[in-house]
Amino acid sequence: MGAKPGVWDNTTRSTANDGVDGAAGVASGIWNALRNSSGYQRAQIVRLLIVLLGTWAFLALAHEMRIEATQDWDESVMRAVRRVDEPGVPIGPGWLQDTARDVTALGGYSVLILLVTMTAGFLQLHGKRGETRFLVGAAVSGYLVGMALKAYFVRPRPTVVPQLELAYQTSFPSGHSMMSAIIYLTLGALLTQFAGNLPRIRAYFLLCALFLTGVVGISRVYLGVHYPTDVLAGWTAGLVWANLCALIAARLQRRGVIEEEI
């Protein structure tokens, strides 16, 4: 015989309620942990949450990309920033295209290598060997992870609109977006140490890092060399990797392997 009317509805409702209650319990536990912890512990908990949630978001986005669930949205966004009658020309004034090329260079490997090298030299001269290792380690390992992800997913570059910038390698995730997130967020975190107990200055450094990361990613879509999901994946992977490196560095610092606190 078939199930009684309402049995499945009640079961589904009960399961949903259990899920909501479980999520509420986890959120409450996290909130209590944050509220009752020290400043250092609070920062570590937030970083761990970013790593866990960011990893989940990246895997979910990668899955949707692999089954082409995002393809229509990707292409519609790329068409939206081009002229309808002339897809090879982006919307906006003529100078905006040149600006986009200048901005996208901020996420290029040449610029980032120079930036990391000069910053590492300054930190070394300042006697901050721990921060130097942290910065170089995050940059090199992030680059290797990014290349491995590109080799694994092997997503072709967009062809829905003409590309306005030379692009190499595969498309997912965006290397410019990922490396910008890693380098600029790492530099932002390092600069906050020079702000002392000035929260506005610390917030300013982090906002600048987020802004640079954001505009680099947007420029990749505007120039037609990346799908929007490539950029979202690059931002997410970079955010995860930067925070994972910070967690590892903090662990090493507490064990005395790294002298200065990150």
The string of pLDDT tens digits covering residues 102-139 is: 999 999 999 999 999 999 998 888 888 878 888 898 99
68 and 167 in a single domain? The answer is: yes
5 and 63 in a single domain? The answer is: no
233 and 105 in a single domain? The answer is: yes
Residue 245 in domain? yes
Residues forming beta bridges with residue 90, ordered by sequence position: 82
Residue 73 in domain? yes
84 and 193 in a single domain? The answer is: yes
The amino acid present at 63, given as its one-letter code, is H
113 and 211 in a single domain? The answer is: yes
Residues forming beta bridges with residue 82, ordered by sequence position: 90
Spatial separation of the C-alpha atoms in residues 98 and 228, rounded to whole Å: 20
- Collapsing DSSP to helix, strand or coil, 181 comes out as helix
Domain that includes residue 230, residue range: 40-254
Domain count for the chain: 2
Residue 89 in domain? yes
> Do 248 and 142 contact (CB within 8 A), yes or no?
no
174 and 219 in a single domain? The answer is: yes
Of 234, 217, 238, nearest to 174 (Cα)? Answer: 234
Q: Is this prediction's pTM over 0.85?
A: no
Residue 29 in domain? yes
Token readout for 214 is 């954001």
7 and 131 in a single domain? The answer is: no
101 and 201 in a single domain? The answer is: yes
Residue 142 in domain? yes
59 and 30 in a single domain? The answer is: no
Q: In 10 A of CB 206, how many CB atoms? A: 16
CA distances from 48 to 117, 184, 215 (A): 28, 19, 26
188 and 175 in a single domain? The answer is: yes
17 and 70 in a single domain? The answer is: no
- Is the confidence at residue 179, as pLDDT, over 80? yes
> Do 70 and 64 contact (CB within 8 A), yes or no?
yes
Kindly state the percentage of the chain with pLDDT values over 70: 80
- Is the confidence at residue 15, as pLDDT, over 80? no
6 and 136 in a single domain? The answer is: no
**So what's the pLDDT on residue 5?**
47
- Is the confidence at residue 1, as pLDDT, over 50? no
